[in-house]
């Protein structure tokens, strides 16, 4: 069966500090990978998605970037955090061909920028 991991679970960072959130998927190959941000426990905003190693699509121009160095690894980064980067960050994966497929979500990272 497939499993998706995210870490850390919670993070408190000062404004201006760097960020690195990691997501890994087990039990599947060549998944589509996604990063979302959820503010105030409500709507989901798609930040990035990737259909393959090194292939990143950005949905919203902002202070964040994403990378996919390995098939089942997806990293969300920032060089300098802003207060507005606070939120609940969710990684998700889906099968890659013949869709449409549902996405499966990780447990999330709660980021607080102080």
Q: Which of 81, 93, 103, 111 binds another protein (CB under 8 A)?
A: 103
Using the contact rule CB under 8 A, the part of the chain among 11-19, 34-42, 62-70, 72-80 near another protein is 34-42
Q: What is the DSSP string of 20-67?
A: EEEEEEES-SS-EEEEEEE-TTS-EEEEEEEEETTEEEESS-SS-EEE
Using the contact rule CB under 8 A, the part of the chain among 14-22, 61-69, 75-83, 96-104 near another protein is 96-104
Determine what percent of the chain falls in helix, strand and coil, rounding each to the nearest 5. 5, 55, 40
Tokens read off for 105: 């979500």
Nearest to another protein of 69, 100 (CB atom): 100
Say whether residue 46 binds another protein (CB under 8 A): yes
Using the contact rule CB under 8 A, the part of the chain among 13-21, 70-78, 79-87, 104-112 near another protein is 104-112
Does residue 78 sit in helix, strand or coil?
strand
Q: Which of 11, 28, 44, 65 binds another protein (CB under 8 A)?
A: 44
């Amino acid at each position: 069966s497939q499993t998706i991991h995210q870490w850390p679970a919670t993070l408190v960072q000062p404004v201006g500090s760097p960020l690195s959130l990691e997501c890994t998927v087990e039990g599947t190959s060549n998944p589509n990978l996604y990063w979302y941000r959820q503010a105030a426990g409500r709507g989901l905003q798609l930040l990035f998605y990737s259909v393959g190693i090194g292939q990143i699509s950005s949905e919203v121009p902002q202070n964040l970037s994403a990378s996919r160095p390995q098939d089942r690894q997806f990293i969300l980064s920032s060089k300098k955090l802003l207060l507005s980067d606070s939120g609940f960050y969710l990684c998700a994966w889906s099968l890659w061909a013949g869709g449409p497929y549902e996405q499966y979500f990780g447990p999330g990272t709660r980021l607080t920028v102080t």
